[in-house]
Amino acid sequence: MSVTTRFAPSPTGYLHIGGARTALYSWLYARQQGGRFVLRIEDTDRERSTEESVQAILDGMAWLGLEADEAPVFQTARFDRYKALTQQLLDSGHAYHCYCSKDELETMREEARAAGRKPMYDGRCRDRKEPVPGVEPVVRFRSPDDGETAFDDLIKGRVVFQNKELDDLIIARGDGTPTYNFTVVVDDYEMGISHVIRGDDHVNNTPRQIQILEALGATVPVYAHVPMILGEDGKRLSKRHGAVGVMSYRDEGYLPEALLNYLVRLGWSHGDQEVFTRDEMLAHFRIEQVQKGAGAFNPSKLVWINHQHLQSMDPAQVLKHWQWHLDQAGIDVSQGPDPIAVIESQRERCKTLVEMTDKSRFFYEAPTEYADKAVKKWFKGDAQAVLTDLLEGFKALPEWTGAAAHAVVHGVAERRELGLGKVAQPIRVAVSGDAVSPPIDETLELLGREQTETRIARAIEFLAARDAA
């Protein structure tokens, strides 16, 4: 049997991380099985669906690199199919018209609830022969009264429902438009979906969908219901937990590989391995091993994983993602050091690309001011004299290399009988504006002779002016 999986979001907002994880699992499964992965946009709710949301979902999937094998399917383009299959069910007696008003249904539910029963439609229109004049009927699926409907979920195991718990649900509204549980069934059927991998908020819909599938004469797919992702506090994930949209993780400086890695590990594990490349996920992920219970989102672990990827990924790949941040920050790297070299030098101390951007700006733009704390701590005592010595030493250098600059720094420290910190820190502040940078030899080599000397000279001027005042 050929495998086809799908990701079927409704375009009512951005792609959130819970959706991203189900999409990832679907994608992984399809790729592992040599099958197809397709995207279906469930936009039948015209009130809430928006064009921007469709784009946001597409953008999120693209950023994560979860590419689909076909153009997305839009449910709004398939109304004729839903209509045709509704008619088929009507003709075969699996569905019938119901003329009950919304008020009538509401009182029915209230009564049931008051009596401690489950609010269900009682099937009063099942055998109605004559239409009610002036009422546009809905179409209901005739659900079996006894027996049970069960399925073997790849993640949850066997799940059994008593058919008497399931009432006759509406598959087409009074205006003829189809409802969710019906469109899902029709599409999964006609798109040839073999494995339905979706959030476990759908387990309760599954038995109904199976019944409709069977009434349609379709093969029932294999189901895998993946647990939800909870917020840090263990409560349902929502806006107040901060970033839930996938693209905001890009904005915050995470690599898609890291988010994917975090997501795959949330609810699944492979021995003691924590860091997975895309290929490793493909090699080791097993949908059957996914945890049954919901997991809480842990931002600090995401940060750690991001750092791991930042350090192990090919710098050229990192640059692809970093470039976006550089552009956002308005940093032009064309006149400064090779960004690849900057990445190699910075990545062990930067957990996100945003941090890397902030900490690397000085390589491309001379500091316009010095951080107060740094000035207070390092631009004191004989800092000006130290910098003057250094500048002389640098100028005398026949060739500019990190090692050569380092030797000058050491020489000055020894001559003045100072610890290395007392010499290196003033340089840092002079060239970067703050007290933090990669090792001083690396920093200076990357920065280049001209910038180093100019900036130190400027710092000396700054100190002279300050001390004169």
Task: State the minimum distance, in angstroms, from the CB of residue 180 to RNA.
Answer: 3
Task: State the minimum distance, in angstroms, from the CB of residue 132 to RNA.
Answer: 11
Q: Name all contacts of 297-300 with Cβ < 8 Å and 24+ positions apart.
A: 297/17, 297/229, 297/230, 297/231, 297/232, 297/237, 297/241, 297/266, 298/232, 298/266, 299/232, 299/242
The DSSP bridge pattern shows strands 157-162 and 148-153 to be antiparallel
Task: State the minimum distance, in angstroms, from the CB of residue 27 to RNA.
Answer: 19
| Helix, strand, or coil (residue 16) | strand
Nearest 5°: phi and psi at 116? 80, 15
Residue number with CB closer to RNA (301 or 466): 301
Task: State the minimum distance, in angstroms, from the CB of residue 362 to RNA.
Answer: 12
Q: Which two tokens stand for residue 80?
A: 């004729």
Residue number with CB closer to RNA (174 or 448): 174
Rounded Cα gap, residues 459 and 441, in angstroms: 19
State the angle between helix axes of 449-468 and 420-432 in degrees (0 to 180), rounded to the nearest 10: 100
Whether the CB-CB separation of 185 and 212 falls below 8 Å is answered with yes
Number of other residues whose CB lies within 10 A of the CB of residue 132:
14
Rounded Cα gap, residues 369 and 375, in angstroms: 10
Residues taking part in catalysis: 239
Closest C-alpha among 353, 348, 345, 369 to residue 444 = 345
Task: State the minimum distance, in angstroms, from the CB of residue 74 to RNA.
Answer: 11
Task: State the minimum distance, in angstroms, from the CB of residue 259 to RNA.
Answer: 14
Residue number with CB closer to RNA (3 or 412): 412
Residues 6 or more apart whose CB falls under 8 angstroms from that of 410 comprise: 420
DSSP 178: B
Residue number with CB closer to RNA (3 or 5): 5
Residue number with CB closer to RNA (4 or 209): 209
Whether the CB-CB separation of 161 and 178 falls below 8 Å is answered with no
Rounded Cα gap, residues 71 and 389, in angstroms: 66
Residue number with CB closer to RNA (118 or 124): 118
Whether the CB-CB separation of 250 and 63 falls below 8 Å is answered with yes
